[in-house]
Amino acid sequence: MSLIEADSPVDRPSRYNAARMPARLIEALATTEPLADLFSDESVLRAMLQFEVALAKAQAHVGVIPRSAARAIAAAQTRAFDVSRLAHDMLRAGTPAIPFVKALTQFVRRKDATAARFIHWGATSQDLADTALVLLLKQALPILAKDLTVLESSLRALSEKHKNTVMLGRTLLQPAPPITFGLKAANWLSSVRRSREKLESTFAEALVLQFGGASGTLASLGKNGPAVAHALAKEVGLDCPEAPWHTQRDRLASLICACGVLTGSLGKMARDIALMMQNEIAEVAEPAGGGRGGSSTMPHKRNPIACALTLAAANRMPNLVASFLSTMSPEHERGVGGWQAEWPTVAAVIQSTGVAAASMAETASGLWVDPERMRENLEATNGLIFAERAMMLLAPKIGRDAAHKILESAARKSVQEEKRIASVLAEMPDATKHLNAATLSRIESPEEYLGSAENFRKAQLVKKPVTKTMRKKER
Amino acid sequence: MSLIEADSPVDRPSRYNAARMPARLIEALATTEPLADLFSDESVLRAMLQFEVALAKAQAHVGVIPRSAARAIAAAQTRAFDVSRLAHDMLRAGTPAIPFVKALTQFVRRKDATAARFIHWGATSQDLADTALVLLLKQALPILAKDLTVLESSLRALSEKHKNTVMLGRTLLQPAPPITFGLKAANWLSSVRRSREKLESTFAEALVLQFGGASGTLASLGKNGPAVAHALAKEVGLDCPEAPWHTQRDRLASLICACGVLTGSLGKMARDIALMMQNEIAEVAEPAGGGRGGSSTMPHKRNPIACALTLAAANRMPNLVASFLSTMSPEHERGVGGWQAEWPTVAAVIQSTGVAAASMAETASGLWVDPERMRENLEATNGLIFAERAMMLLAPKIGRDAAHKILESAARKSVQEEKRIASVLAEMPDATKHLNAATLSRIESPEEYLGSAENFRKAQLVKKPVTKTMRKKER
Amino acid sequence: MSLIEADSPVDRPSRYNAARMPARLIEALATTEPLADLFSDESVLRAMLQFEVALAKAQAHVGVIPRSAARAIAAAQTRAFDVSRLAHDMLRAGTPAIPFVKALTQFVRRKDATAARFIHWGATSQDLADTALVLLLKQALPILAKDLTVLESSLRALSEKHKNTVMLGRTLLQPAPPITFGLKAANWLSSVRRSREKLESTFAEALVLQFGGASGTLASLGKNGPAVAHALAKEVGLDCPEAPWHTQRDRLASLICACGVLTGSLGKMARDIALMMQNEIAEVAEPAGGGRGGSSTMPHKRNPIACALTLAAANRMPNLVASFLSTMSPEHERGVGGWQAEWPTVAAVIQSTGVAAASMAETASGLWVDPERMRENLEATNGLIFAERAMMLLAPKIGRDAAHKILESAARKSVQEEKRIASVLAEMPDATKHLNAATLSRIESPEEYLGSAENFRKAQLVKKPVTKTMRKKER
Amino acid sequence: MSLIEADSPVDRPSRYNAARMPARLIEALATTEPLADLFSDESVLRAMLQFEVALAKAQAHVGVIPRSAARAIAAAQTRAFDVSRLAHDMLRAGTPAIPFVKALTQFVRRKDATAARFIHWGATSQDLADTALVLLLKQALPILAKDLTVLESSLRALSEKHKNTVMLGRTLLQPAPPITFGLKAANWLSSVRRSREKLESTFAEALVLQFGGASGTLASLGKNGPAVAHALAKEVGLDCPEAPWHTQRDRLASLICACGVLTGSLGKMARDIALMMQNEIAEVAEPAGGGRGGSSTMPHKRNPIACALTLAAANRMPNLVASFLSTMSPEHERGVGGWQAEWPTVAAVIQSTGVAAASMAETASGLWVDPERMRENLEATNGLIFAERAMMLLAPKIGRDAAHKILESAARKSVQEEKRIASVLAEMPDATKHLNAATLSRIESPEEYLGSAENFRKAQLVKKPVTKTMRKKER
């Protein structure tokens, strides 16, 4: 859901359609509207019908069934189905496919009894269910991609804008040497972009037709199997794989994993932002999106709603991935229990990925950043985070151990007396012997202790696959 | 689509109500109808409304708000809510509670502006959402219990009926010494019953009111907090815990775990049945339930549909449990991402448990058992499974190693020449020297090699907590 | 490496014994020393040997094998085993039991060939492996309990000491109405104690003998099965269950789940402490334990090491639990792949629980608390967290909506002008019309806005099972 | 213990080296020996030392530290470390790195106090720990690849050899139209090969240096950061990424996922083989490998040991993957609890993948196949699996429904009278009206009902990325 929506939910240009929208309050926080639509009954029926219509067309094209039958089948509409009855029958049948085909047959038969004979010709339940799932996934990709594109460009812009905004590094939630917020944003971007690329390549590999008939041999089509398969693939707009994959779930599994990795990367960003939004830190704030409950004039009093939704998705995702992986060993040509568990898992994976991507896109594109507060938090350490720096300057001269002792003592004094570490050092002869006043005066300048931050930041804005050379080497 | 899936669903006694049933085709295999109803929008709204109405009544009772306000609030109906809008607003708000309260307030205000002021008085989002969830869970228990009661009594009956039905034991999917089918059923029962008991005790512990206000102190109720809490608990029919549990999810977690253990036990039964239904084994078959597609006259040609649904639930369950456990560390007084991930997980856990319990109840109550085929499969091993027995008879006389060698040689001969092992041994002087003809003739009798099977079977039909003495000892 | 990690581990009182400790650097952060010892090769061998020796003794007692054989078998020692060879053979055999029995037989045979014949008499691999596992678990319980006892008493003491220490409540990581640190500690305690009680009861239920022979019927022992089983149980110090549980993993599963819930509760405490240790918040600090790297004089500059170890355990635990649950459906009388996956999972579960319990025990018993900083952080909100309070005072008079508007406006002013909310309200006629000066002056007093905090705190220090009445009702 | 477990492990050509092997009995079934070695203390120390030595050399090369220091540091040996003390100190420190650096410093200082000052110069704990992990993973790849190469060529050979070996297809564990065993093997191969390719590409991407210093900026190296990083990468033999990835775990996560998908594909193969090894089916058998306990002369009496080990790995893997994914959201520049949980998970993932790959490689290279039994099992269905075929022949003539009814009736008669379905049909006028004797006589010929089996088999032996065109299209 885009930022463009007006603050008040009352005013916003409504994008949802009560009649169409499949509300499911128990899962309202775990999806976005386009993806809730995608896995709605209407949409699932449409995908199943698309398969059967395309199958009839393909078989008519190859000459396996009469063209008139294909035409009659193609006239079927999703509204012809009694969804409640279908849901009931699917549970009884243990498969979504058989009841659907029965219902479709009944519908077509009323108009053309002959055509009804040729529905689902030579196909098996899993051909219908798997291909329908793939057709849904195909529609999911652009929905995800749209938000990811916004997210990436927003992060890039944030990174550029804040390339000189220094802030505390934090390790184990404790102060560490400074970074720039530009680097932090670039780090988020880098991981999100790699994960999105993997997402796209796994989608490309997984979005293939499933068509194998009862045992995966297309036996009942005789010699016509491959011809029908290719025509069918073309008709539904999918690639035709070298063989059916009813027992080989690895391509789907890789797609699911890629969603998992991406959502993990989005979760990292959400975690950081939620932590930086703490009242005591107050370095950034989510935008005050419509309905988000945050005051538009008090950015640092906003709740991390988009972060919460993203972290909720990131919390559920690892086990959704595991759930899919745990059914990769189906028995023989169709398993008992594994395949039957896939649909809810896949739907939850896609919707979780989607809600995380949309939330972080909205967040990144409107993130409120407070560079002054970042500097204040940094200053509040009284220079303690530069102790490492001072030690590195002393160490070559007096050894690391001795340097460590001096700095430890200086750090303790700095904390106890609430004095800056440079001032403390300036009073210690052991230190001033080796570090002159000019050096000491600059020790606490964060700008001078950023090392390769800008180097690393810029390198991550460029899409440059690091492993190219390695891959060549390895193969 | 298999030919054998024949019985028309049209003929079955229909148990569903199309108007009422909340279809969600993508999850049709992952729930039962009563549980789909339970987590439907209508039901979720009812639970949320129940909390707000009860809160108003309790506060009126204690004197915190006017009685007239409570009456006006109590007049609200679930049909007053625009579900699609609510779903939209919940996602925006990152909580189901705030938009619900807003909508309820709008509704009540139209009739009684004063009453509207007292809605959700002193409560926080999580009070509403958590207690609503608990109220849903309270309704889930009898639904689960009903199926489990049928299951347990059916397993008990199966066990009694087949206490003398010998069959192969099977370890690592290979033949092992005989058991009785009565023992196998008792083993299933034992694990299911223990798991159900744990389910009930964890429900009893978890079904408590959540009511703590913003930080869990009921601050805005002043001294009236405990009084309101107790009145509210009474009003919604829940126990009142010693303190709010908004940050302590252990009781819910234990309930979820108990569902996981129970579903695992159900999955064990389904696994065994699906394996015994293999055409080459054909020892049992699921009943030919309406819409299940199995021919009622060809039990051993049925598909293991109920097993598939149960194993699908058992496949998803471990990761649903993990999903809940992974959000047990919320930040401070309400976390970012953990709590927000709970609802879909809990709903999936309950529905998965339910579909497994219902499926195994139906299966156990109509299981077709073929004692003859069980004996045939046992006989088909040519007595090889009694080799251990012969060895145990020889070992005390000639040592285990020597006995082992004789039996190994006999076993090989039995397999190669397709002769019964007793016959082979009868031709081996090393064996006949120690085992006389009478002994040898009885070696292959499964009835005489059942050891304590009947003892163990009967012991498991009795509900007798083994650990009673131990518990006393330990404490 | 932070400079502050100063205390030399050389100085600490060493608690480890280099000769004894089973190092495994790759898992060094995932265990404690006593638990690493418990799952060491020596300890595993000891448990396996204990089973075989006890079996021989029990069978001699019942008269199944010669007393002399039992004596000879009892003379075996763990050091007789070639551990590397055993590990190799176990992998080849796909079970830890067979190679162990072979090696034991070889060892005993050298001294008493007759006795060697009676090793493992009538038992199956799983009898040995399962009972050995249970014997290890039995030793784990006191190790865990010891730390949990320290933890609980420390939390109780913390709670009492800080019953009047006010601090910010925090929801969604944002400021919320005040709580006391005493309440926070009591909340931690409450969840930990309930989880520990469940741990103990699941241990009590699961610590039972496994003894069933090849198919779970003790066939080769004829009528002596139960007598041997009871004698064996007595000999190894376990209860004797009503039947073998080789195919019923529910009791172990419940034990594993209880570890999961407990570790989740410990993780909650660690999460809160790590967050409170942030430099910008600095309300508490882990104790400066030996080797923990924190300076003893700068508590608020310590790293949350114990929290990190606990959260690492809490991160791994949910999926360890799921891993165990996912093998609850073994095929028939012994499965293919499920049982074989249990040992590493159980060991990791116990060790993770242990490292979390030990870490939080150490933390609670030495936690540094800064009540002043807690109050400062609270004050730093300029009273914004009392806006709800002011609203609750206004609402009955002017309605919740109008009150909300006034407070929203006041809050905005408070933030923008950095003035306390009470001062802002004192300048707003809409507010002063209904709230007099005396009321306003006390609005920001945290002590007066603690509601039932102390009530809830005390209630949780008492061990009082809330569900007693409910349980009675339900049954 | 089964009698059939006969072959003595004493006779086998031993492949292990007792002195070297790091035994860990509790995990003996969950690793292979080369991979147990890889994660042994010695190997972990070697990887950590390699990083520190390479760092010193790289820094000397760039001129950051004296060359003499690098030489002195390079002289350190893993045997200089007291492993037990290290394990103890790592747990205390909450990181493996700091105690290692301290111990290394102590060691070097004894010989060269100046050199000791420059150890770990400018690096942070995570640089050491992450890069050491990557160096271990780099060694894992060839170990895994070796077994996968054997597996793939064995599967290819099996597929070619059995391209004409007909067998039952089986869906839901019930008979389905025939396939060839050659196709089944090709299906296994196809999924394994794709998964292995993904494994290799994710390794290539993940095997990169981690080097960022305290906050990921290499601040203490000033301008020399990138130069040192590149020299260090070269020295340890890794690629140098565009930036440190201490907070970005996506590349590692993708590697872990690829292991998960591969192990899932291996599990599928193991599941099928274990099922086919059932006594009642007996179509294949694992080879009688040394110590595997199977008689070499009774292939169909072997236990599925390699399958059990593989399925054990496949059972654990999904949750190991989830475990890694669940720590992808570390707090800021180094998290609390996430990173600290990685090592044991990664080690378990690699070892599980390895034991599955090795087990299936051994199995595939020596699989015993019984084509005759395959045909017998197929024949035993009395032609029922060809009912679909007969129906497809009748349907175009009389409609699918009418055809379905005829076949249903014929199927029932075939089962009840134990007659072949062709014979039954030959007696039904409704059938013979449309199917002549010649057609009927061939209906039950599996060879004539294989459809595109050979087509699909061959297509999967060729490595031909199906998605090439699609990828082009999409991008």
How far, in Å, CA of D9 to CA of D14, rounded?
9
- pLDDT exceeds cutoff 90 at C25: yes
- Please give the pLDDT value at position A71: 97
In this structure, are residues D136 and D44 in contact, taking their beta carbons and an 8 Å threshold? yes
> Mean per-residue pLDDT for B83-95?
94
- pLDDT exceeds cutoff 50 at D74: yes
- What is the tens place of the pLDDT at every residue in A6-36? 233 333 333 333 334 456 899 999 999 999 9
- pLDDT exceeds cutoff 50 at C10: no
How far, in Å, CA of C72 to CA of C112, rounded?
7
- pLDDT exceeds cutoff 50 at A4: no
Mark yes or no for CB contact A336/B308 under 8 Å. Answer: yes
- Of B140, B293, B358, the closest CA to residue A90 belongs to B293
- What average pLDDT is seen over chain C? 90
- pLDDT exceeds cutoff 90 at B293: no
The SS3 of residue A171 is strand
pTM: 0.94
Band of residue A404 on the pLDDT scale cut at 50, 70, 90: confident
In this structure, are residues B119 and B52 in contact, taking their beta carbons and an 8 Å threshold? yes
- Please give the pLDDT value at position B57: 98
Whole-Å CA distances, C372 to B345, C178, C282, C369: 41, 14, 10, 9
C10 CB contacts (<8 Å, ≥6 apart)? Answer: none
D170 phi and psi, to 5 degrees? Answer: -140, 120
B272 CB contacts (<8 Å, ≥6 apart)? Answer: B184, B188, C331, C332
In chain B, the domains with their CATH numbers are 1-123+215-238 (1.10.275.10), 125-208+245-379+453-475 (1.20.200.10), 384-443 (1.10.40.30)
- pLDDT exceeds cutoff 80 at C207: yes
For A269, the token pair is: 């960003």
- pLDDT exceeds cutoff 90 at D424: yes
How far, in Å, CA of C308 to CA of C314, rounded?
10
Mark yes or no for CB contact D278/B277 under 8 Å. Answer: no
| Angstroms from D317 CA to nearest CA on chain B | 12
The SS3 of residue A208 is strand
- What is the tens place of the pLDDT at every residue in D401-423? 788 889 989 988 998 898 999 99
> Mean per-residue pLDDT for A389-403?
83
User: What sign does the CA torsion over D27, D33, D39, D40 have?
Assistant: positive
H runs (alpha helix) in B247-304:
250-276
- Please give the pLDDT value at position A10: 34
Can D190 be counted among the known catalytic residues?
no
- Please give the pLDDT value at position B296: 63
How far, in Å, CA of D406 to CA of D136, rounded?
64
For chain D, how many residues are written? 475
How far, in Å, CA of A202 to CA of A223, rounded?
32
- What is the tens place of the pLDDT at every residue in B239-275? 999 999 999 999 999 999 999 999 999 999 999 999 9
- Please give the pLDDT value at position C11: 35
Q: Does B343 touch chain A (CB under 8 A)?
A: yes
End-to-end CA distance of chain C: 59
- pLDDT exceeds cutoff 80 at D18: no
- pLDDT exceeds cutoff 50 at D473: no
- Of B121, B15, B109, B108, the closest CA to residue B65 belongs to B121
- Please give the pLDDT value at position B3: 37
How far, in Å, CA of A21 to CA of A35, rounded?
10
Band of residue B400 on the pLDDT scale cut at 50, 70, 90: confident
- Please give the pLDDT value at position A18: 37
- pLDDT exceeds cutoff 70 at C60: yes
Q: What are A178's strand-pairing partners?
A: A168
- What is the tens place of the pLDDT at every residue in A199-226? 999 999 999 999 999 999 999 999 999 9
Which of B254, B295, B323, B365 is labelled catalytic? B295
> Mean per-residue pLDDT for D29-33?
95
Exposure on the CB side of residue B438, measured as CA atoms within 13 A: 0
For A288, the token pair is: 């005050």
> Mean per-residue pLDDT for C9-24?
43
Mark yes or no for CB contact A341/B313 under 8 Å. Answer: yes
User: With pLDDT > 70 as the criterion, what percentage of chain B qualifies?
Assistant: 91
- What is the tens place of the pLDDT at every residue in D311-336? 999 999 999 999 999 999 999 999 99
User: With pLDDT > 90 as the criterion, what percentage of chain D qualifies?
Assistant: 79
DSSP-derived letter for residue C208 is B
- Chain B residues whose CB is inside 8 A of the C334 CB are 170-172, 176
Which of A302, A334, A420, A457 is labelled catalytic? A334
Give the neighbours of chain A: at least 3 Cβ pairs within 8 Å. B, C, D
Q: State ipTM.
A: 0.93
Mark yes or no for CB contact D277/B173 under 8 Å. Answer: yes
Band of residue A297 on the pLDDT scale cut at 50, 70, 90: low
User: With pLDDT > 70 as the criterion, what percentage of chain C qualifies?
Assistant: 91
- Please give the pLDDT value at position C300: 64
Which of D40, D153, D220, D295 is labelled catalytic? D295
In this structure, are residues A344 and B316 in contact, taking their beta carbons and an 8 Å threshold? yes
- What is the tens place of the pLDDT at every residue in B344-396? 999 999 999 999 999 999 999 999 999 999 999 999 999 999 988 898 888 87
Alpha-carbon A299 to chain mean position: 26
H runs (alpha helix) in B367-452:
371-379, 387-398, 400-417, 421-426, 429-432, 437-443
Band of residue C72 on the pLDDT scale cut at 50, 70, 90: very high
The SS3 of residue A159 is helix
- What is the tens place of the pLDDT at every residue in B297-340? 667 678 999 999 999 999 999 999 999 999 999 999 999 999 99
- Please give the pLDDT value at position B250: 98
How far, in Å, CA of C452 to CA of A303, rounded?
25
- pLDDT exceeds cutoff 50 at D137: yes
| Angstroms from A163 CA to nearest CA on chain D | 13
- Please give the pLDDT value at position A294: 61
Whole-Å CA distances, D81 to B190, C403, D42, D173, D273: 53, 69, 10, 56, 46
- Please give the pLDDT value at position D234: 98
Exposure on the CB side of residue B460, measured as CA atoms within 13 A: 32
Structure-model confidence comparison of residues B15 and C449, the more confident one: C449
- Of B390, B387, B323, B320, the closest CA to residue B348 belongs to B320
A325, A353, A407, A455: best to mutate for the D interface, most D CBs within 10 A = A325
DSSP-derived letter for residue A329 is -
H runs (alpha helix) in D174-249:
181-206, 225-236
User: What sign does the CA torsion over D27, D28, D32, D36 have?
Assistant: positive
Band of residue D464 on the pLDDT scale cut at 50, 70, 90: low
C2, C413, C414, C421: best to mutate for the A interface, most A CBs within 10 A = C2
User: What sign does the CA torsion over C371, C375, C378, C381 have?
Assistant: negative
- Given the structure tokens 């020889």, which residue do they identify? B394
Band of residue C6 on the pLDDT scale cut at 50, 70, 90: very low
- Please give the pLDDT value at position D298: 67
- Please give the pLDDT value at position C474: 39
- pLDDT exceeds cutoff 80 at C22: no
Chain D 187-246, residues with CB within 8 Å of chain C CB atoms: 214
In this structure, are residues D60 and D128 in contact, taking their beta carbons and an 8 Å threshold? no
In this structure, are residues B153 and B163 in contact, taking their beta carbons and an 8 Å threshold? no
How far, in Å, CA of C97 to CA of C124, rounded?
8
Band of residue B405 on the pLDDT scale cut at 50, 70, 90: confident
- What is the tens place of the pLDDT at every residue in C144-184? 999 999 999 999 999 999 999 999 999 999 999 999 999 99
How far, in Å, CA of A366 to CA of D444, rounded?
68
> Mean per-residue pLDDT for A431-436?
91
CB atoms within 10 A of CB D106: 13
- What average pLDDT is seen over chain D? 90
DSSP-derived letter for residue A420 is -
- Please give the pLDDT value at position C2: 38
Which residue pairs from B161-164 have beta carbons closer than 8 angstroms and sit at least 24 positions apart in sequence? B162/B369, B162/B371, B163/B454, B163/B457, B164/B447
- Given the structure tokens 């009560």, which residue do they identify? A18
Q: What are A208's strand-pairing partners?
A: A239
Mark yes or no for CB contact B308/D2 under 8 Å. Answer: no
- pLDDT exceeds cutoff 50 at C16: no
- Please give the pLDDT value at position C318: 98
- pLDDT exceeds cutoff 70 at B465: no
- pLDDT exceeds cutoff 60 at A194: yes
- Of D250, D300, D247, the closest CA to residue D276 belongs to D300
DSSP-derived letter for residue C338 is S
- Of B284, B131, B247, B269, the closest CA to residue B196 belongs to B269
- What is the tens place of the pLDDT at every residue in D273-297? 999 999 999 999 999 877 776 666 6
- What is the tens place of the pLDDT at every residue in D216-257? 999 999 999 999 999 999 999 999 999 999 999 999 999 999
- Please give the pLDDT value at position D46: 97
Is B160 exposed, middle or buried (CB count within 10 Å of its CB: 0-12, 13-18, 19+)? middle
How far, in Å, CA of A452 to CA of C13, rounded?
41
Give the neighbours of chain C: at least 3 Cβ pairs within 8 Å. A, B, D
- Please give the pLDDT value at position D297: 64
- pLDDT exceeds cutoff 80 at A435: yes
Band of residue C3 on the pLDDT scale cut at 50, 70, 90: very low
In this structure, are residues D286 and D273 in contact, taking their beta carbons and an 8 Å threshold? yes
- Please give the pLDDT value at position D295: 61
Pairing of strands C174-180, C166-171: antiparallel
DSSP-derived letter for residue B428 is -
Band of residue A464 on the pLDDT scale cut at 50, 70, 90: low
In this structure, are residues B225 and B55 in contact, taking their beta carbons and an 8 Å threshold? no
How far, in Å, CA of C65 to CA of A258, rounded?
60
H runs (alpha helix) in A326-382:
342-366, 371-379
Band of residue B288 on the pLDDT scale cut at 50, 70, 90: confident
Q: What are D169's strand-pairing partners?
A: D176
Can C295 be counted among the known catalytic residues?
yes
Mean pLDDT check: name the lowest of A64-73, C246-255, C417-426: C417-426
Band of residue A289 on the pLDDT scale cut at 50, 70, 90: confident
For chain A, how many residues are written? 475
How far, in Å, CA of C172 to CA of B335, rounded?
5
Element (H, E) at C167: strand C166-171
- pLDDT exceeds cutoff 90 at A167: yes
